[in-house]
Amino acid sequence: MPDEDDFDRPLAPKGAVDAALIARVLKQEGLVPDHALVSSARRTQETWGHVAAVFARTQADIRRDFYLADAHTLWHAIEEAAADADTLMVVAHNPGIHQLAVALLRRDGASPSVIAKLERGFPTATAAVFAIDEAGRASYDGLFLAAEHGGAGGE
């Protein structure tokens, strides 16, 4: 059973700053979600609060099953939600979200340099962007790390 103390752990102050920063970067890039799937853990709820301030019209589904979810669980939820969203955001936890991003890169033929960059880690406030076609194939659209945009980055 997952550690309830971890579930209730608050977002670190630098995490709050980085979450808002990455939301602004995504908005500047024209990546505005109309729907979000968000873990119900305290720190992801707090993350979502900072992101939602930038994306006020984004509808969010709060998911208890996203707490420490594996890549398969996340992908299944994305497939279900994709029918109702043009741009979908997922706010979840490592290692599952990291494993999902790397699996999508590998499955759909991203360049070795992109795969290697993402394999090195998936720090908090990282956004991996994929375009998903109607057949469920993902194509890599970008990686946004807080540290590369003036934030603290890291865990």
Answer whether residue 138 is part of any domain.
yes
The pLDDT, as a whole number, for residue 145 is 92
Residue 91: which of 51, 54, 129, 38 has the closest Cα?
38
Positions in the chain short of pLDDT 50: 1
What's the CATH code of the domain at 108?
3.40.50.1240
Average pLDDT, the chain: 91
Answer whether residue 135 is part of any domain.
yes
Answer whether residue 58 is part of any domain.
yes
Structure tokens at 15: 């995490």
pTM higher than 0.85: yes
Answer whether residue 155 is part of any domain.
no
CA distance 24 to 4: 31
Answer whether residue 153 is part of any domain.
no
Residue 14 dihedral angles phi and psi, to the nearest 5°: -70, -30
Q: Which domain holds residue 12?
A: 4-148
**CA 77 centroid distance within chain:** 13
pLDDT tens digit sequence for 45-79: 999 999 999 999 999 999 999 999 999 999 999 99
Q: How many domains does one find in the chain?
A: 1
